[in-house]
Amino acid sequence: MKNHGVLPASCANQQSKTDAGLDDDLWLFVSARDPVADPSQSEFFSRNINEVAGLASDCDPSKPDSAASTAACQLGLEKHANFERDCKGFLRAPRFCDSSGEAMGTGCWKVPETMNAGRYVGQWYWRTSFLRPDADNLQTLSYQSCFDFQVVPAGTTAGTPGTTGVPDSDLPCTNNVLAFADVVRGPSTRPTAEPTDASPATPSAEPTTLSAEAVGPWGHCAMPSFVNEKRCPANYACVRWAGSPAYGRCQPVEAAEPTNKPTTPPPTAESSVEPSSLETSCSTKPWEHCADPLLLEELCCPASYTCVRAPNSPAYGRCQPSTY
DSSP 173-202: ---GGGGGTTGGG-GGGS--SS-SSSSPPP
Q: What is the mean pLDDT of residues 190-197?
A: 35
For residues 193 and 320, what is the distance between their CA atoms, to the nearest angstrom? 50
Lowest mean pLDDT across 32-46, 115-129, 235-249, 278-292: 278-292
State residue 191's pLDDT score.
35
Q: Is the confidence at residue 5, as pLDDT, over 60?
A: yes
Q: Provide mean pLDDT across the span 195-202.
A: 36
pLDDT (tens digit, 9 = 90+) per residue, 59-91? 999 998 899 999 999 999 999 998 888 999 999
pLDDT for 103 equals 87
Q: Is 276 helix (H, G, I), strand (E, B) or coil?
A: helix
pTM summary value: 0.57
Decide which of 42 and 316 is more confident. Answer: 42
Confidence of residue 227 (pLDDT cuts 50, 70, 90): confident
The predicted pLDDT at position 260 comes to: 47
Tell whether the torsion through CA atoms of 280, 281, 283 and 289 is positive or negative: negative
Q: Please give the helix or strand (H or E) that residue 240 lies within, else none.
A: strand 236-241
**pLDDT at residue 146 above 80?**
yes
State the CB neighbour count (10 A cutoff) for residue 245. Answer: 10
pLDDT of residue 118: 92
- For residues 159 and 212, the model is more confident at 159
State the burial class of residue 56 (Cβ atoms within 10 Å of its Cβ: 0-12, 13-18, 19+): buried
Mean pLDDT of the chain: 77
Residues in the chain: 324
pLDDT at residue 193 greater than cutoff 50: no
- Give the H or E element holding residue 249: strand 244-252
Give the pLDDT band (50/70/90) at residue 203.
very low
Lowest mean pLDDT, pick from 39-43, 62-66, 200-204, 295-299? 200-204
Higher pLDDT, 276 or 100: 100
Query: What CA–CA distance (Å, rounded) separates 91 from 84?
Result: 10
Percent share of the chain, pLDDT over 90: 24
